[in-house]
């Protein structure tokens, strides 16, 4: 069992509030490929778990891992992403909905613009159905989406704030802070606690989150792995 839901947040989300999305094989859980690239593995994955992941994802698939430090089998390719940090709400000054008069709830019709903004600003994986994971808020200028933020992983009692990004031409205006604070208000209203992840190398983002009132909980390993092209049975996993 995981000692704390945030220690293995992907598995905790898919085994809990995000169970409606889960695709499962054995003890390996995953989101649909157009929702999120994240895979949930047990805390200490063994050979059978890696075999189940290979069967679930398919030959040649690349999947993302959060907090997994157990290496995959030798014939897998590890794609390092970097060391990360996990931050939790330690007194963020929340902004009630509508305080700024800026943000609007983003819906299915906004997805093309959300994908475009994410592709240009690279806040992390954002796919055609990622918006379905939770609430997403956006700010428009001249009719164009120039900033957004939303909810991603959802371990029991917690909600991750993610995809916080602003168009380069509109940075420095406090949009990211406003959106984050509004999400904090909504998450707390549900009786949950906000948290987020960032690459440890992203000093600017970490400074922003700490200034808002988030604090470091722990470091996290971020990585991706590529399943070998051979079928699992052919590698002796059956």
From first CA to last CA, the distance across the chain in angstroms is: 25
pLDDT of residue 102: 74
How many Å apart are CA 164 and CA 150, to the nearest integer?
7
Helices 203-212 and 175-189 cross at an angle (nearest 10°) of 50
pLDDT per residue over 74-128, tens digit each?
999 999 888 999 999 999 998 865 544 578 999 999 999 999 999 999 998 999 9
pLDDT of residue 90: 97
Closest CA to 117 of 145, 152, 149: 145
Taking residues 211-220, report their average pLDDT. 96
How many Å apart are CA 177 and CA 192, to the nearest integer?
19
pLDDT per residue over 138-190, tens digit each?
999 999 999 999 999 999 999 999 999 999 999 889 899 999 999 999 999 99
Q: Where are the alpha helices (DSSP H) in the chain?
A: 9-15, 47-57, 111-121, 175-189, 203-212
43 burial (CB, 10 Å; 0-12 / 13-18 / 19+) is middle
pLDDT per residue over 58-70, tens digit each?
999 999 999 898 9
Taking residues 24-32, report their average pLDDT. 97
Domains and CATH numbers, the chain: 9-84+221-235 (3.40.630.30), 87-219 (3.40.630.30)
pLDDT of residue 238: 39
How many Å apart are CA 79 and CA 57, to the nearest integer?
16
pLDDT of 130 higher than 60: yes
């Amino acid at each position: 069992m995981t000692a704390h839901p945030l220690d293995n947040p992907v598995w905790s989300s898919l085994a809990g509030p995000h169970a409606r999305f889960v695709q499962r094989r054995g003890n390996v859980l995953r989101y649909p490929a157009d929702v999120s690239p994240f895979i949930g593995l047990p805390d200490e994955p063994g050979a059978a778990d890696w075999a189940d992941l290979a069967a679930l994802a398919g030959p040649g698939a690349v999947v993302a891992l959060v907090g997994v430090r157990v290496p995959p089998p030798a014939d897998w390719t590890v794609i390092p992403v970097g060391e990360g940090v996990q931050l939790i709400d330690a007194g963020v000054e929340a902004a009630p909905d509508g305080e700024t008069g800026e943000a609007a709830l983003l819906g299915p019709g906004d997805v093309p613009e959300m994908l475009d903004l994410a592709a240009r600003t690279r806040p992390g994986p954002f796919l055609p159905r990622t918006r379905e994971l939770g609430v997403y808020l956006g700010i428009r200028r001249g009719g164009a989406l120039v900033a957004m933020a939303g909810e991603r992983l959802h371990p029991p009692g917690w909600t991750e704030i993610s995809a916080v990004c602003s168009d380069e031409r509109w940075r420095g205006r406090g949009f990211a802070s406003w959106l984050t604070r509004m999400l904090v208000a909504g998450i707390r209203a549900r009786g949950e606690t906000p948290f987020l992840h960032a690459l440890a190398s992203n000093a600017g983002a970490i400074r922003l989150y700490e200034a808002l009132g988030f604090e470091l909980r722990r470091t996290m390993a971020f990585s991706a792995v590529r399943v070998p092209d051979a079928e699992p049975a052919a590698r002796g996993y059956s």
